């Protein structure tokens, strides 16, 4: 089913062995796009903000691995959530993000994230430090010129997925972690009664869950 755009009116316990990436640029491929559903937002400058649907993207950092419970796996990084609307407007963050995959994408168009799965991009990685721990953060995503894309290594991950917020068996949803997993679990349901979503920052700045410092 993939992401169903909402019409809005007016893990724990894993044993990890890893080294943080050095700050800088890395080649990566898009492997998951997860719909976090409808999320409450923090008031901004005293003004109440209406709930907004959010998505988050996950990339495999090519040529880099981590060890989870003794098993070597490709290193994956999730982005901070992005607010989405019925189409991509000039004031939102989805359009510039999508243009890292489709540079010619137009304002007010509807993105096709399924078609972008597996495509290579360049990630700019920075660091957040929280409680003495260092967390890798995707600061920005940049396009790789088409003529160079066939020279980029392939991803090890093969279960590429775009997961709607109710598609709980989707690899994209199953691989959420940290605060992203919590946000998805606390999303506002269509009935508006079974789940109470937690407010998220208007500026989309988050700290990663301490159990996932890479």
What 3-state DSSP class applies to 178?
helix
The CB-side HSE value for 59 (13 A sphere, CA atoms) comes to: 28
Contact 189, 195 (CB under 8 A): yes
Separation of alpha carbons 195 and 111, rounded Å: 28
Supply the pLDDT for residue 21.
Answer: 93
Supply the pLDDT for residue 12.
Answer: 53
Task: Read off φ and ψ for residue 63, nearest 5 degrees.
Answer: 80, 10
Contact 118, 33 (CB under 8 A): no
CA angle 110, 121, 75 (to 5 degrees): 115
Supply the pLDDT for residue 107.
Answer: 96
Separation of alpha carbons 68 and 213, rounded Å: 12
Supply the pLDDT for residue 193.
Answer: 41
Specify which residues 152 forms β-bridges with.
Answer: none
- Report domain extents, the chain: 30-116+158-185
Q: How far apart are the first and last CA of the chain?
A: 30
Query: What burial class does residue 150 get, using C-beta atoms within 10 Å of its C-beta: 0-12 exposed, 13-18 middle, 19+ buried?
Result: exposed
Separation of alpha carbons 100 and 117, rounded Å: 12
Residue environment code for 85-110, b if the CB has 16+ CB neighbours within 10 A, otherwise e:
beebeeebebbebbbbbbeebeeeee
What six digits make up the tokens of 71?
């098993």
Instruction: Enumerate residues 6+ apart whose C-beta is below 8 A from 188.
Output: 37, 38, 39, 40, 51, 195, 196, 197
What 3-state DSSP class applies to 173?
helix
Supply the pLDDT for residue 134.
Answer: 87
Q: Which residues, given as ranges, of the chain have pLDDT below 70? A: 1, 5-14, 190-214
């Amino acid at each position: 089913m993939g992401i169903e755009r909402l019409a809005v009116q007016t893990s724990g316990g894993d044993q990890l062995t890893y080294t943080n990436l050095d700050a800088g640029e890395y080649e990566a491929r898009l492997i998951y796009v997860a719909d976090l559903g409808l999320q409450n937002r923090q008031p901004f400058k005293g003004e109440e903000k209406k709930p907004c649907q959010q998505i988050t993207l996950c990339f495999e950092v090519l040529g880099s691995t981590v060890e989870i419970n003794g098993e070597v796996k490709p290193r994956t990084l999730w982005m901070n959530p992005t607010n989405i609307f019925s189409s991509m407007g000039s004031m939102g963050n989805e359009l510039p993000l999508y243009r890292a995959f489709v540079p010619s994408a137009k304002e007010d168009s509807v993105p096709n994230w399924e078609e972008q799965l597996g495509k290579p991009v360049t990630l700019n990685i920075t660091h957040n430090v929280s409680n003495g721990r260092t967390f890798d953060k995707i600061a920005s995503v940049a396009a790789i010129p088409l003529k160079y894309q066939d020279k980029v290594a392939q991803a090890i991950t093969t279960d590429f997925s775009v997961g709607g917020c109710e598609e709980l068996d989707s690899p994209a949803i199953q691989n959420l972690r940290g605060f992203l997993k919590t946000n998805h679990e606390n999303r506002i349901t269509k009935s508006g009664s079974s789940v109470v979503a937690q407010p998220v920052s208007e500026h989309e700045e988050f700290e990663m869950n301490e159990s996932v410092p890479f």
